[in-house]
């Protein structure tokens, strides 16, 4: 049976210090399933010009790519190992399809990687590879990237996209995590929820012109785009499993879902 594919809305970095219904939902999802043999993750904060970069470091450092948060956040660690052998295998698979990947042994893991993985696998005992989010890119490029790596699911590898469904930092109310979301955010999030449930890939590819309030919900695409990586790795028998739905700081959607075999 194929391992699931996972999309996580990683929210603010401070979730790493919190205990709430979102953090419990992520921990519980991982707790009741077999531990993956490795994780391949594509993060909204891993944008890089040119071809896909595949992190091949054995012990990647952490990048604290945020500011203005409690000092305790900058003291957190996540000492999971890298997976150089698997990184080379992934790069070979991409190269065979003409994507000209680059192995990167220098860059560390951004918070779109280590913050959600600390919640999912707090023992830091699962090897991790980060893929860059290429610039420029299209939904079709990311769908194809997920499709190329989908066979890893049959070998116990968890493919993860880390980003956010609604991510407009100009509209968040950072002083109030429990602030009610605005109607436009709920409307967009609900439209995406329904299209995901139907695995309507064609509609999702055209969300910028079809979804309500897309210009507000996705003012820049880097947080939404990992959805396409996840959807590209789907198999015919998959269904969408909602792991968490809800909002933080007003319009920040924390919708998190998995593709699981029926």
What does the pLDDT read at residue 175? 81
pLDDT for the residue numbered 1: 82
Domain hosting 96: range is: 5-261
Helix (H, G, I), strand (E, B) or coil at 221: coil
Distance (Å, rounded) from C-alpha 86 to C-alpha 40?
A: 9
CATH of the domain at 249: 3.40.830.10
What total number of domains does the chain contain?
Answer: 1
CA–CA dist 93, 218 (Å, integer): 31
Dihedral of CA 251/256/259/262: which sign? Answer: negative
Tell me the pLDDT of the chain (262 aa) as tens digits: 899 999 999 999 999 999 999 999 999 999 999 999 999 999 999 999 999 999 999 999 999 999 999 999 999 999 999 999 999 999 999 999 999 999 999 999 999 999 999 999 999 999 999 999 999 999 999 999 999 999 999 999 999 999 999 999 999 998 888 999 999 999 999 999 999 999 999 999 999 999 999 999 999 999 999 999 999 999 999 999 999 999 999 999 999 999 999 8
Q: Is the pTM of this model over 0.95?
A: yes
């Amino acid at each position: 049976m194929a391992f699931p594919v996972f999309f996580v809305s990683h929210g603010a970095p401070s979730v790493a210090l919190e205990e709430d219904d979102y953090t419990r939902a992520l921990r519980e999802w991982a707790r009741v399933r077999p531990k993956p043999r490795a994780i391949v993750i594509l993060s909204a904060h891993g944008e890089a010009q040119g071809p896909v970069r595949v992190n091949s470091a054995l012990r990647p450092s952490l990048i604290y790519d945020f500011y203005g948060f409690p000092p305790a956040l900058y003291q957190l660690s996540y000492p999971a190992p890298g997976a150089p052998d698997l990184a080379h295998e992934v790069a070979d698979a991409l190269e065979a399809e003409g994507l000209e990947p680059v192995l990167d042994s220098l860059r560390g893991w951004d918070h779109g990687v280590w913050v959600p993985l600390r919640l999912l696998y707090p023992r830091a005992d699962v090897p991790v590879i980060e893929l860059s989010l290429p610039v420029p890119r299209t939904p079709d490029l990311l769908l194809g990237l997920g499709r190329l790596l989908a066979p890893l699911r049959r070998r116990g590898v968890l493919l993860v996209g880390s980003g956010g469904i609604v991510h407009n930092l100009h509209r968040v109310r950072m002083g109030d995590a429990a602030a009610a979301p605005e109607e436009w955010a709920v409307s967009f999030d609900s439209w995406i929820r329904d299209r995901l449930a139907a695995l309507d890939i064609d509609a999702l590819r055209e969300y910028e012109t079809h979804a309500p309030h897309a210009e507000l919900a996705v003012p820049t695409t880097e947080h939404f785009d990992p959805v396409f990586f996840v959807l590209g790795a789907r198999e015919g028998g998959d269904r969408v499993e909602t792991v968490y739905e809800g909002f933080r700081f007003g319009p920040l959607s924390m919708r998190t879902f998995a593709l699981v075999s029926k």
